[in-house]
Amino acid sequence: MMDINDRNDSGWKNGGGQPPQSEPQRQYYYMARLRAYVEEKSLALGRPLTASIQTFGCQMNARDSEKLAGILREAGYEQIDSEEADFVLYNTCTVRENANQKVYGRLGTLNHWKKDHPHMMIALCGCMMQEPEVVEKIRKSYRFVDILFGTHNIFKLAELMVTRIEAADMVVDIWKDTDLVVEDLPNRRKYSFKSGINIMFGCNNFCSYCIVPYVRGRERSREPEDILNEIRRMAQDGVTEVMLLGQNVNSYGKTLDTPMTFAALLREIEKIDGLKRIRFMTSHPKDLSDELIEVMGSSDKICKHLHLPLQSGSTRVLKEMNRRYTKEQYLDLVERIRAGVPDISLTTDIIVGFPGETQEDFLETMDVVRKVRYDSAFTFLYSKRTGTPAASMPDQVPEDVAKERFDRLLKEVQEISRQVTARHVGTVQQVLVEEINRQDASLVTGRLSHNTVVHLPGDASMIGKILDVKLTECRGFYYLGEPV
């Protein structure tokens, strides 16, 4: 097999001149050079070169992976799911410690494969790479990794790959922060009919347990016109549902030269022809405005679902978490949302075992869960993240205590979710069909505006369509339905 680092007779290196200095032109230059390289290697190997992107973590990473996939497609790689590929890229998450462990484990396996396929390239990017200790560890103990980059420069993938092919050593390019937003790069959507879209990057909230502001940098919003144009292009290309992405969408637009509220942005997006559904995440309760509730209440396109992370129901713990709302303010907000947007589905994130959490604090969380009655809730055991203020707080909760609380909370959340989800049984609702059911190929799977999953009889021709469906049976977290 050919060595990818074989630098003899590399026609792809000649010609092409100097790289442009401005973006995105510079990246198109590198994509073209990478493509020439891919063509040459494909010819030598007698098959296409393959690339595999493995995505960990949140929607933000999923969207970043679509951009990375777009660059690789432009360069001529064939994308495959299997990690037995010519280029493997891990887009990592570090929000909780177990996410990091997973990556190290899988890298070990990848190393075995690479030993038999020396031409292969391995790259790591995403949140975990923004932690200096991680980079140190990989440089020392995972020498077989070819490229490391972070969250701020994913647009540079092609340039970094060309650099690696030309260099003899690991390429490391981590930016501490950036105010750069590079527009107009290729991307490859996972679904033809729906897409995530970044409206802002980074976070300024510094919740005391959270590593995100350190790995995703300061908050910056995209220009409304760039967002609107991107969605218009998507809608013309068949996208009916968009998910607006930001760590705290409710503070959208505050840092723009001409500030604009999130609610005002939604009003503009609503006007785009062809677009049928608008979702967004995540909302911080402290910044959720009455203007937003009003826009949600009067919109035909904004979905009847709001993800509103609670984190804790104890005002004392919320203060330690630096969340900047109280239990009462949260409950009051929920009431206002329910009054303004009847029948809305609420979901949440809750952390159990935050440092200093007492039994009383935990019962406050249980109390909010019983009062709000979430459609569903993601529950997490507190995970200590080095460098965050909470990591050095006294009274870290013993594991067994936290685990016991976690189990109690999960049981409660699931029981309530079962009851709440069932409220639409017997009604006809609109379902956007997303895919063939993974267990039973005679079924298709889609979602309500409320985000609840529905399985119904159907075939591939229904994918991407919004259908009227009678919800015949609720099975806990999902429905069975019949098209009407």
Q: Which residues bind ligand SF4 (CB under 6 A)?
A: 203, 205-207, 210, 212-213, 247-248, 284
325 Ramachandran zone, left/alpha/beta (phi>0; psi -120 to 50): beta
For ligand SF4, the closer of residues 206 and 378 by Cβ is 206
Rounded distance, CA 158 to CA 164, Å?
10
Residues 305-364 that bind ligand 5AD (CB under 6 A): 309, 311, 349, 351
103-142 CB burial, b ≥16 within 10 A, e <16? beeebeebeeebeeeebbbbbbbbbbbbbeebbeebeeeb
Give the x/- contact pattern for ligand 5AD in 29-48, rule: CB under 6 A: --------------------
Q: Which of 61, 195, 383, 417 binds ligand 5AD (CB under 6 A)?
A: 383
Q: Which does 382 bind (CB under 5 to 8 A by kind): ligand 5AD, ligand SF4, none?
A: ligand 5AD
Residues 156-195 that bind ligand 5AD (CB under 6 A): none
For ligand 5AD, the closer of residues 212 and 469 by Cβ is 212
Residues 202-261 that bind ligand 5AD (CB under 6 A): 209-210
Sequence-ordered alpha helix ranges (H) in 143-270: 157-166, 212-216, 224-236, 262-270
Q: Spell out the residues 6+ positions from residue 128 whose beta carbon is closer than 8 angstroms to its own.
A: 92, 93, 94, 99, 100, 103, 134, 215
Q: Which does 206 bind (CB under 5 to 8 A by kind): ligand 5AD, ligand SF4, none?
A: ligand SF4
| Alpha carbon 118 to chain centroid, angstroms | 32
- Residue 182: exposure state from Cβ atoms within 10 A (0-12, 13-18, ≥19): middle
Rounded distance, CA 6 to CA 15, Å?
18
User: Residue 15's closest CA among 36, 42, 31, 44?
Assistant: 36
CB of 358 to ligand SF4, least distance (A): 22
Q: Which of 270, 380, 404, 430 binds ligand 5AD (CB under 6 A)?
A: 380
CB of 355 to ligand 5AD, least distance (A): 10
For ligand SF4, the closer of residues 215 and 474 by Cβ is 215
Q: Which does 284 bind (CB under 5 to 8 A by kind): ligand SF4, ligand 5AD, none?
A: ligand SF4
User: Residue 352's closest CA among 429, 406, 308?
Assistant: 406
For ligand SF4, the closer of residues 98 and 472 by Cβ is 98
Structure tokens at 320: 């330690």
Choices 314-322, 375-383, 431-439, 455-463; region in contact with ligand 5AD by CB under 6 A: 375-383
For ligand SF4, the closer of residues 203 and 265 by Cβ is 203
CB of 362 to ligand SF4, least distance (A): 19
Q: Which does 380 bind (CB under 5 to 8 A by kind): ligand 5AD, ligand SF4, none?
A: ligand 5AD
For ligand 5AD, the closer of residues 267 and 384 by Cβ is 384
Q: Which does 96 bind (CB under 5 to 8 A by kind): ligand SF4, ligand 5AD, none?
A: ligand 5AD
State whether residue 184 is helix, strand or coil.
coil
Structure tokens at 427: 């009604």
The answer, yes or no, to whether the previous bond of 282 is cis (omega within 30 of 0) is: yes
Strand partners, 245: 198, 281
- Residue 101: exposure state from Cβ atoms within 10 A (0-12, 13-18, ≥19): exposed
CA-CA-CA-CA torsion for 261, 267, 270, 272, nearest 10 degrees?
A: -90
Is residue 385 near ligand 5AD by the rule CB under 6 A? yes
C-alpha neighbours within 13 Å on the C-beta side of residue 79: 18
Q: Which of 155, 325, 382, 406 binds ligand 5AD (CB under 6 A)?
A: 382
For ligand SF4, the closer of residues 247 and 345 by Cβ is 247
Q: Which of 96, 327, 405, 455 binds ligand 5AD (CB under 6 A)?
A: 96
Is residue 23 near ligand 5AD by the rule CB under 6 A? no
Distances (CA, A) of 102 to 193, 212, 391, 448: 31, 18, 21, 32
For ligand SF4, the closer of residues 76 and 217 by Cβ is 217
Under the rule (CB under 6 A), what is the footprint of ligand 5AD?
95-96, 209-210, 309, 311, 349, 351, 380, 382-383, 385
